[in-house]
Copies of this chain bind each other. A is one copy, B any other.
Amino acid sequence: MEPTASEYISSLKDDVAIFYPVVQINIAHAIMLAERGIISADEASAILRALLSLYRGGLSKLDLRPELEDIHMAVEEFVIREIGEDIGGKLHTAKSRNDQVSTAIKLALRQKLLDLEEQLLKLVKALLAQAERNVDTIMPGYTHLQIAEPTTFGHHLLAYCSAFLRDIERVEQAYELTNSCPMGSCAFAGTSFPIDRVRVARLLGFGRVDENTMDAVSSRDFAVQSMGAAAIIMVNLSRLAEEISIWSSVEFSLVEIPDEFASTSSIMPQKKNPVIAEMARAKAARAIGNLAGGLSLLKALPQAYNLDLQELTPMLWDSIEETMNSLKVMEKLITGMKPKKDLMLARAERGFSIATELAASLVKHAGLPFRKAHSIVGRMISLAIEGNRTAKELTLEDLKKASREVIGREITMEQSEFEKALDVENCIASRNVIGAPGPKAIKRQLTALKQKIKTHQQLLRAWRRAVVGSEEKLLKEAEGRVQ
């Protein structure tokens, strides 16, 4: 092939990510070939010895010269170089590059999805720990970036815990659809050799065989599903990043980013640029782009294998890795971030954030329909603004005046009830509906979230054990066959 052409289609650079999976697949395949009598025990011994030495020696043992198209050729070439073509040439019996590359991507992705879940769990725990330290840190809650009602910093952070826990579920969902084994599909039509696909799948720790052989080699929906999960994670993360960027502005001044996660300049020591958050926000765009690109790549591809598929893999790894990197550094930032409690409280108190609670009080204590209570409170706030007063300075007189104007009769309530209704701390204390920022509700959330984390951790640990266990068994099995 013409050199620029072969360079253009070479995947060697990207194949590094699947080196170990490719060697494992060859080991599992060779074991199965021997078990089924397709190669002899002696041949298997020689082949496995070569493969084990490659596995232990690592990538540097391969001669990755540019004219080799991919790592599959490089591994086969290594084996043949080590033990000769007469035996080494038998390794590729009853398999093809098509099933091998699909299996290798799944093996590598399986690992990465578990790592991703683990990192997501760490982030959730960092958020939860920060939230737990701030269950009573009152802050303003916003809609349309306008102060709307008071909440707590803890409650706000737990919103993200909930979102990232759904992300964990999506990663698990992607894992389940990834964890099936294409090996034995060969080019796409199987083989007449009496191979055992179930055995190879088990040796590689897969949950099941990817049955239809054409589908097994040419489908990559598992990959774009994972890219989709990564994009949603990053979008959720970008929302948190945006908030951190806004919160750390001088104007909002709600949180302090730890120095080692902000950039500063010698000239403006007071200026702490939230560059980590900005970068995380930007990486979300990259994940979105990869996903759009990946889906567009797969669109309208006929069966079975086309080289287009090769170009999907670097986009997949990029999405997963950038997501991992972003989660790691944001986890640390979250842990070190410090709320400015006084300012948070002060801002929540200003801005008439208790309006809704006050209206609720009127409904409860004066039996007004909601919409009318709404209007009266609105009028009261107007009165306060006109008089340049804060929410705390509202009086029962205001209530009376406003109710006269709005509904034509005077409404009043007990002074103590009225004062309670104007107090943000009391407002928070009264919000104990499931999921709300009140102390009981938060306690319930914390318990539920911790339970969820535990459940996911157990599942993750079980999956990890299965993966690691199968790898160890595979190597032991291989060693046992080397004479």
Q: In the complex, are the beta carbons of A434 and B268 less than 8 A apart?
A: no
A182-B206 Cα distance, complex, nearest whole Å: 37
Going nearest first, the 7 A-B pairs with the smallest beta carbon separation are A289-B293, A190-B436, A89-B369, A285-B297, A282-B311, A144-B273, A192-B430
A458 at interface by CB-CB < 8 Å: no
A251-268: contact bitstring with B at CB < 8 Å (1 yes, 0 no)? 111000000110101111
A347-B253 Cα distance, complex, nearest whole Å: 13
By a CB distance below 8 angstroms, the chain B residues around A431 are 189-192
Instruction: Find residues 380-403 in chain A having any chain B CB closer than 8 Å to their own CB.
Output: 381-382, 385
Tally of chain A residues near chain B (CB < 8 A): 182
A326 nearest in chain B by CB position: B8
Q: In the complex, are the beta carbons of B286 and A435 less than 8 A apart?
A: no
A275-B286 Cα distance, complex, nearest whole Å: 27
The answer, among B146, B189, B325, B382, for a CB contact under 8 Å with A150, is B189
A228 at interface by CB-CB < 8 Å: yes
By a CB distance below 8 angstroms, the chain B residues around A228 are 225, 228, 231-232, 291
Q: In the complex, are the beta carbons of B270 and A385 less than 8 A apart?
A: yes
A292 nearest in chain B by CB position: B292
A389-B127 Cα distance, complex, nearest whole Å: 35
Instruction: Find residues 1-54 in chain A having any chain B CB closer than 8 Å to their own CB.
Output: 1-2, 4-5, 8-9
A288-330: contact bitstring with B at CB < 8 Å (1 yes, 0 no)? 1111111111111111111111111001000000000110110
Instruction: Find residues 138-194 in chain A having any chain B CB closer than 8 Å to their own CB.
Output: 141-151, 155-156, 158-163, 166-167, 169-170, 173, 176-177, 184-194
Interface centre among A159, A232, A326 (most CB of B within 10 A): A159
